Amino acid sequence: MNILIKSAKIIDPSNEELHSKKRDVLIKNGIIVAISPKIEEEKGTKVVQAKNLHLSNGWFDSGIAFGEPGFEERETIANGLLTAAKGGFTDIVLNPNTHPVPDTSSDIVFLRNRANGHACNLYPLGTLTMNGSGKDLAELYDMKNAGAVGFYDFKHPVENANLLKIGLQYTQNFGGLVFSFPLDTSIYHKGVANEGAISTKLGLRGIPAMAEELQVARDLFILEYTGGKLHIPTISTANSVKLIAEGKKKGLDVSCSVAIHNLFYTDNVLEEFDTRYKVLPPLRTKSDTKALIRAVKDGTIDFVTTDHTPMDVEQKRVEFDNAAYGTIGIENSFGILNQLFDLDTTISLLTNGRERFGLLSPELKEGKNACLTLFNSAEEYVFNDEHINSTSKNSMFLGSMLKGKALGIICNDQCII
């Protein structure tokens, strides 16, 4: 396929030669063959042009859930990857939120095979423990060889400290990345919202910030003892930021992420008991949100994730206490981040992070594979149902004013616009 992108403003802060310049980009058979102020259209070439067209390296998300196998009613791999592509993502890390969970090499091969032929690339995580039960380590080495980019019992903490210790020690032999969800279940005790004035007022069981911070402190202490590579997904409190910053100063090989919704919303939105806002970790306070945004800017938080978690309507349209955790977020990530940060920072956040998972970052250069995201940086609109491509519709961002919209991607010799 031959594709000509016309007059796109390139956003690539790492590329001084092209950053903020308007260029035509010619792609032939998936390879960037020319980047120039003006390229003449050739017969049989697909021309891509749009108002306020912007272009960057392809976007990456370190934590997305779909459903297949087992929960196809939430999201299939095929529709999930199409949704990600329309949302601007060329590469996603798939959380092990399925039934059964991927805890063997054959499970990882199945997921990779299901993703073959799509414009958006899928990189699966395997579970850290067998069946995700937290009792015995899974086939980590075999899963790594099959293509797993990390090991995570999705949204379940590693309660057994010795198990985390052994996991960190064992994975050093092959450079494996261990995830540890930051939640002390003895303090969490089936909470449903941030413990504070709002949860007390509404009569909701609280999840103290301490439940997250104790687990972070414990995990960092174990990491300091064992070595290895640790990733702490979706932190949500100011003190978690401080603990991780201290760990990094000690030279620990630790990374962390934050969910976009924990940067944008606080627990004040729970006043109407709307289950769209029930997520784990929960929405916290304004002071936490400010600390998280500062940490993103100074690099303490390594990357931002949509934490996209589709749930069927039966699990959301129930009482708040009984509702499932999770919100979708692929379709609106750019429009949220573009309000919180300047454009260069937003694009850096959306393109960084691959190296942590052992993946190569795309390059916007002639002779390189085209792995590009197209977007409009200025369009303002109210996010509603018509903007959702996911099978599930459990978005807490419905009704929000967004600034900026992803138009699609060019990747794997495919154009999804």
In the predicted model, what is the mean pLDDT of residues 354-360?
A: 97
Q: What tokens appear for 116 in the block?
A: 């073959």
Tokens of 405: 């919209």
3-state secondary structure of 370: coil
Q: What is the pLDDT of residue 189?
A: 84
Alpha-carbon span 201 to 188, nearest angstrom: 19
SS3 of residue 114 by DSSP: helix
User: Over pLDDT 70: what percentage of the chain?
Assistant: 100
CATH superfamily of 2-55+365-380+403-416: Urease, subunit C, domain 1 (2.30.40.10)
Determine which one of 153, 307, 344, 413 is catalytic.
307
271: pLDDT strictly greater than 90 = yes
Q: Judging by DSSP bridges, how do beta strands 401-411 and 371-382 pair with one another?
A: antiparallel
Mean pLDDT computed over 244-258: 98
Query: What does the DSSP 8-state code read for residue 127?
Result: P
Q: What's the CA gap between 121 and 320, in Å, rounded?
A: 35
d(CA 280, CA 310): 13
Selection from 122, 58, 123 nearest residue 90 by Cα: 58
Reported as a single tens digit per residue, the pLDDT across 163-197 is 999 999 999 999 999 999 999 999 998 899 999 99
- Cα dist from 174 to 1, 168, 203, whole Å: 38, 11, 48
Q: Give the Cβ contact number of residue 367 at 10 Å.
A: 8
The whole-angstrom distance between residue 171's C-alpha and the CA centroid of its chain comes to 23
| Structure-block tokens of residue 152 | 């995570």
Cis amide prior to 96 (ω within 30 degrees): no
What pLDDT, on the 0 to 100 scale, is given for residue 144? 98
Query: pLDDT confidence of 417, banded at 50, 70, 90?
Result: very high
Active-site annotation holds for 307 = yes
What is the CATH code for 58-357? Answer: 3.20.20.140
Q: What mean pLDDT comes out for the span 371-378? A: 98
pLDDT at 251 > cutoff 90: yes
Quote the DSSP letter at residue 104: S
Q: What is the pLDDT of residues 89-121, one digit of tens each?
A: 999 999 999 999 999 999 999 999 999 999 999
Give the sign of the dihedral formed by CA 314, CA 316, CA 318, CA 324: positive
Domain ranges of the chain: 2-55+365-380+403-416, 58-357
Q: Per-residue confidence at 308, pLDDT binned at 50, 70, 90?
A: very high
* pLDDT exceeds 90 at position 301: yes
Residue 106: count of CB within 10 angstroms of its CB: 12
- Fill in the DSSP letter of residue 125: P
**DSSP letters of 40-76?**
PPPTTPEEE--TTEEEEEPEEEEEE---TTT-TTT--
Q: What predicted TM-score, i.e. pTM, was given to this entire model?
A: 0.97
Distance from C-alpha of 22 to C-alpha of 340, rounded to nearest angstrom = 25
3-state secondary structure 386-398: HHCCCCCCCCCCC
Q: For 271-280, what is the mean pLDDT?
A: 97
Tokens 């609280």 map to which residue? 206
CB 51, CB 377: distance < 8 Å = no
For the chain, the average pLDDT equals: 97
Strands (E), 247-328: 254-259, 303-305
